[in-house]
Amino acid sequence: MRRSLSIKQFKQRKQEKSFDLRRILHGEVERAIKDSQPYAVVALLPQLLPGEEVGDLVKLSSEHLREFVRGEDCAGLIADGVLAIGLSEADAMSAQVAAHRVKTDLGLRTQHLRNTIWESGCACLPEDGRSADQLVSAAIDAANNHRRTFATW
């Protein structure tokens, strides 16, 4: 059964710019465990050249990311240079589909600023972890494993 937000909660979550995503993820994961529901975390990282800075690009992308997700999901900047999405009632396949769609959307939205390749990784409850921190770490590790390596001289 999908949990729905009130209109006030939905608007507040969409408009809030500096919410604590980790705190929200902790609550969502605990609720999913209690209700025996699936939950997935998607991490998105821009591909960087050695010594390259993209902090402003990631912050701008985090605002677009909140427009892309469903009302009951949470999304934003989780760490320096890392975007995350918490997907309620999502299994591994759903998370991979969402990750691919978001990667494509972010690439198109940021193309005018910088041609950026976004890498994504997914982690699902309970296979990849039993807490929000474990899921975020597993998703970031999965995204890092998908990164293409550049030759350096």
Q: Which of 32-36, 54-58, 132-136, 148-152 has the lowest mean pLDDT?
A: 148-152
This prediction has a pTM of: 0.79
Q: Which of 5-14, 36-45, 75-84, 125-134 has the lowest mean pLDDT?
A: 5-14
What average pLDDT score do residues 4-14 get? 52
d(CA 139, CA 98): 13
Domains of the chain (ranges, CATH numbers): 9-146 (3.30.70.270)
pLDDT at 89: 92
pLDDT at 29: 94
pLDDT digits (tens, 9 = 90+) for 30-78: 999 999 999 999 999 887 655 566 666 777 777 777 777 888 889 888 8
pLDDT digits (tens, 9 = 90+) for 89-130: 999 999 999 999 988 888 877 776 666 778 899 999 999 999
Is residue 105 a contact partner of residue 64, using CB atoms and an 8 Å limit? yes
At residue 96, what are phi and psi to the nearest 5 degrees? Answer: -65, -40
pLDDT at 151: 43
Q: Which of 34-38, 64-68, 84-88, 135-139 has the lowest mean pLDDT?
A: 64-68
Q: Among 81, 104, 98, which residue's Cα sits nearest to residue 39?
A: 98
Is residue 114 a contact partner of residue 54, using CB atoms and an 8 Å limit? yes
d(CA 45, CA 58): 8
d(CA 25, CA 139): 13
Model confidence band, residue 16 (pLDDT cutoffs 50, 70, 90): very low
